[in-house]
Every structure is written in C-alpha cells, then in structure tokens.
Amino acid sequence: MKCHTTNYFNTFIIVADDCPATKGEIPPGTGLKDTVAGIQYDLISKNPYRFTSDEVLLRVYMKRNSIGDENHAGAKELFFSKGQACFRSSPLTKRYGWGIHFNDEGKMALYGSETEPYGKLAGDPNLTALKALRSKK
C-alpha cells in the first residue's frame, strides 16, 4: 500500500491572508476538548522540534478516534494510505495566528504572528515560505 506524507523540510508556513487573529491565540478548549486545533496546539507547543507533521497528524487522528498506542502501526498504515491535508490547512495557521517552522529534519515548532522570530522566519531566504490556505475564496 502506498504511504503518503505531509512532511515539510526547511519550510515556514505563514498565517493565511484572511486569518482573523492578529497574534498567535491558544485555541479554546485546549487540554479539555479533543478539537483538532487544541490537540495540534498541545502537541507542538509543548514539544517544539520534536514531531514531524506526519507524527502530529497521526496522533490527532488516533486521539480523536480513541485508538490506543498498541494499534499505532495499523493506524499509521491506514491513515497514510490516502493523502492527508497538510498544515497549510490547519486551524492553527488559518484561524489562530500561528506560523509553523519545519527544520531540516522536518520537525516543527509554532511561532505567533506577532513575534520577532515569526518575522525573521517569514523573511528567511534559506527557507521555503508557504502561505496557509485561505478560509474563503
């Protein structure tokens, strides 16, 4: 079975043009509800440069579907057997004002759009800069 990936390397995802947030905002319900934004935020903010995009998306899928770690391999094969939306379509980049940096190993970290590091990463000529997908056409 073909395995698809969402991983980026040496890339910075810039907040969507129509993002309503003017700074990085913590998604409501983080730590309490199993929202996609909340789970993504918890995993990445508490573990900067620890996970790849594929690892975060798989963990979100497993948590939202109550799949235990003992079924990790099977869940991974099933989840990545078809293409998945990448972090350009994440609510973190589209709604909550977070830019996402992927280092040369594909590991990711969040940067609020109001921060100095965000500005530096967005303008870094050594990184591929991609805009998050707009919510509206």
pLDDT tens-digit readout, 12-34: 999 999 999 999 999 986 555 67
Residue 5 within any structural domain of the chain: no
44 part of a folded domain: yes
Give the pTM.
0.89
The confidence score (pLDDT) of residue 83 equals: 72
Total domains, the chain: 1
Token couple for 11: 């890339």
List the domain range (segments joined by +) for residue 42: 11-131
Q: Mutual orientation of helices 53-64 and 72-79 as an angle, nearest 10°? A: 110
Is the confidence at residue 1, as pLDDT, over 60?
A: no
Which is more confident, 104 or 74? 104
User: Looking at residue 113, what is its pLDDT?
Assistant: 97
Residue 2 falls inside a structural domain: no
Tell me the pLDDT tens digit for each residue of 90-117.
Answer: 999 999 999 999 999 999 999 999 999 9
Contact criterion met (CB below 8 Å) for 37 and 110: no
Q: Is residue 3 part of a domain?
A: no
Does 15 map to a domain?
yes
Q: Which residue has the tokens 């979100």?
A: 60
Whether 57 maps to a domain, the answer reads yes
Please report the pLDDT score of residue 73 as a whole number.
Answer: 78
Domain presence at residue 55 = yes
Measured distance CA(41)–CA(27) in Å, rounded = 7
